[in-house]
Amino acid sequence: MDDRIIKTEYSDVMQKSFIDYAMSVIVARALPDARDGLKPVQRRTLYDMHELGIRYDKPYRKSARIVGDTMGKYHPHGDSSIYEALVVMTQDFKKGLPLVDGHGNFGNIEGDGAAAMRYTEARLERISQEGLLADLDKDVVDFVPNFDETEKEPSVLPAKFPNLLINGSEGIAVGMATSIPPHNFAEVVDAAKAYMLNPNITTRELMRYVKGPDFPTGGIVINKDDLLDIYETGAGKIKIRGRVTTEKVKGGRVNIVITEIPYTMIGAGIGKFLSDVAALAESKKTTDVVDISNQSSKEGIRIVIEVRKDTDVDNFINMLYKKTRLEDTFGVNMLAIHKGRPETMGLKAILKANIDFQFEVAKRKYTTLLNKELEKKEIQEGLIKACNVIDLIIEILRGSKDRAMAKACLVEGETKGIRFKTKGSELMASQLRFTEKQANAILDMRLYKLIGLEIEALIAEHEDTLTNIFKYEDILARRDAMAQVIINDMEDFKKQYKRERRTTIENGVEAVFEEAKQQELDVYFLLDRFGYAKTIDEATFERNKEAALNENRYVFKCKNTGKVCLFTDKGQLHTIKVMDVPFGKFRDKSVPVDNISTYSMEKENIVYVASQSDLNLYRVMFMTKQAMCKVVDGGEFDVAKRNVAATKLQDGDEVVWVEVLKEQKTVVLQSKEGYFLRMPVEDIPEKKKAAIGVRGMKLKDSDSIEAVFGLNYNDPKTIEYKSKQLELNKIKLGKRDGSGVKVRA
């Protein structure tokens, strides 16, 4: 038994297993092939439709039938991945050239998903049938066993055009991803033609034909100068904007109309854009928006933004570019499977991969056709020769005992056993030397073939065969002849499927948006005990002062352009821009502070809240549960970050009290076990915010600080302690790090 146990390093097994898994995902699922531009699931789906006979000129078939057949025969990875691939191949807003003709609800540009596969129907598009699946019966590509070796499937489809560039591709593998934009069909064909005529052509010269990506959604590419580097390296970033126009309406106002969107906004991006514009209006980043509506339909995108009469339209449009996804970045990473391995390829490399493949396909196709014509030629020559000696052949057939004897005479001139009418006939028969195929054709020939017109048709067919043989031999012998055949095929497709470019390529001007300067106002910040905040103006506060003070935990004046600082028991400082806090009427809705800051209500509790402008003018005192205290210059909390550590804590400790020191002269510490210590504020040293601090009070092991009070010398502050009134200023003044006095009931 021991000799069958293989001992190996666990990490080696994991490494090998992960690499095998990664390569399987990379090569067999996520990345397209550079030759036909298809991922395995797309290729298998198209081939299955071809095998099922769901052609462009045949009726639609249920998508569920296509998905089930594909999964059962070729792609055993679940029906959802197959159906998703089928859906994407039908969507003209994602693909430059849809490969599947869908019938039913296959989703839309606004992100609505396709109906279930049991409701939709599909069939092949004509371009798929003629440009990707044609000639599979001519041994043009290798067929490999399917997953269970019960079927054969093509390793690649014989694409007659650079589909990878025309339709683009997106996919996430293990440790790598591909993102190839779609391009204009006519431009790609022209570039492929130019490459075939001059294999040494440069990327810059190819870009005379391929101007840049041509997204189905249109839009404007605004970094034209960066495209050369992107197409040479196969990676980079394309900046794309939506197309914006203006329409004059009644009252002298102007509507902003978006008629094309960036390719990256397909799906939920349109809804996000609408909500972003609404948010800009709600947060007062712009006061120009009157209304926004999505009037898009089957005819195209139409998003209308109604603005005020005095709006600076250019500045408003620039704001949309800056603050929303109306200007976005498409990350290009032209990664594809080339010669069995993933490779980042530039424009020329992708064209070369497809053109080299087309030459290979053409060579195999015309070799197959030539062999068939040569076989036909051999048989035709035998039949013509037989017609010339038809009387002799009839005599041989009548005199033979069986087919084998007649065939032996036709092929080898063997006359033994055959009865001839004359010695002359026997002598002529002995000189016959038909080939094996010719003899079989003669023996299978029907009598009507001896009609004069049939013989003439045979001779004409033979001449056509000789013409085809000459043509195929010429194509196979000369690369330029084969190139011309490939070019002719692509030109035919170009005539049928070319369309005007939708995406404009230019060097756009950087969008400059000048934000309207916010008028600085004094407002009151209100935070209730549930953690909901809002701001109101001074007049509103004065009218509702009593209710505001009674209903809220923190109430203070601040500037609307300033910040609010939240100190928590975990020693953290969270800052909130006052502009982010809802401003309005006293009874308007508040917003949870954890929605507008990094503070988490579930993980920490608010200990103190103050305006940052107050902190800058004063010092801040901290006290922790373990009686560690310090004073920090408030200017240290004037930070750009939304979340920083306000103080350092020991293990198991937490902040129980924070307060801005204004007029406080003494501080009273109250412990859980009833000890009180009143000490001068000046006894507490000033430290940096990163320091732990010093001990303020000696505590027993089980004791901790429960409350802290800051007092003036003459402040008659009284608290209720154990059902009695305790005047804090009458507690004996002690020193820092004292034990305090025990207050009994």
Active site residues: 119
- At a CB cut-off of 8 Å and minimum separation 6, what does 445 contact? 383, 386
3-state DSSP assignment of residue 643: strand
Q: Report how far residue 721's alpha carbon sits from residue 126's, in angstroms, rounded to the nearest whole number.
A: 89
Beta bridge partners of residue 724, listed in sequence order: 721
Whether 434 and 411 have beta carbons less than 8 Å apart is answered as yes
Q: Report how far residue 92's alpha carbon sits from residue 106's, in angstroms, rounded to the nearest whole number.
A: 10
Amino acid at position 361, single letter: V
Query: How is 448-505 classified by DSSP, letter by letter?
Result: GGGSHHHHHHHHHHHHHHHHHHHHHHHHHH-HHHHHHHHHHHHHHHHHHH-----SEE
Task: Please state, as a whole number, how many other Cβ atoms lie within 10 Å of the Cβ of residue 585.
Answer: 11
Q: How far is residue 9 from each of residues 23, 125, 161, measured CA to CA in Å?
A: 22, 53, 49
In sign, the C-alpha dihedral spanning 558, 563, 568, 571 is negative
DSSP for residue 507? B
Whether 618 and 661 have beta carbons less than 8 Å apart is answered as yes
DSSP for residue 553? S
SS (H, E, C) 383-449: HHHHHHCHHHHHHHHHHCCCHHHHHHHHHHCCCCCCCCCCHHHHHHHHCCCCCHHHHHHHHHCCHHH
Q: Report how far residue 95's alpha carbon sits from residue 56's, in angstroms, rounded to the nearest whole number.
A: 18
Q: Report how far residue 656's alpha carbon sits from residue 649's, in angstroms, rounded to the nearest whole number.
A: 12
Q: How far is residue 535 from each of residues 152, 263, 293, 542, measured CA to CA in Å?
A: 71, 40, 30, 13
Residue given tokens 């009157």 in the structure block: 290
H/E element, 88:
helix 79-90
* Backbone angles phi and psi of 178, in degrees to 5: -120, 145
How do strand 243-248 and strand 254-260 relate by DSSP bridges?
Answer: antiparallel
- At a CB cut-off of 8 Å and minimum separation 6, what does 596 contact? 533, 576, 580, 581
3-state DSSP assignment of residue 375: helix
Radius of gyration of the chain (CA): 42
Kindly tell me the burial class for residue 60, based on how many C-beta atoms sit within 10 Å of its own C-beta (0-12, 13-18, 19 or more).
middle
Kindly tell me the burial class for residue 456, based on how many C-beta atoms sit within 10 Å of its own C-beta (0-12, 13-18, 19 or more).
exposed
Q: Report how far residue 630's alpha carbon sits from residue 688's, in angstroms, rounded to the nearest whole number.
A: 9
SS (H, E, C) 95-116: CCCCCEEEECCCCCCCCCCCCC
Whether 645 and 571 have beta carbons less than 8 Å apart is answered as yes
Q: How far apart are the first and last CA of the chain?
A: 80
Torsion of CA 188, 191, 192, 193, to 10 degrees: 120
Residue given tokens 């501080």 in the structure block: 667
**The 100-103 sheet, strands edge to edge:** 61-62, 121-124, 100-103
Residue given tokens 């902003």 in the structure block: 256
Beta bridge partners of residue 124, listed in sequence order: 100
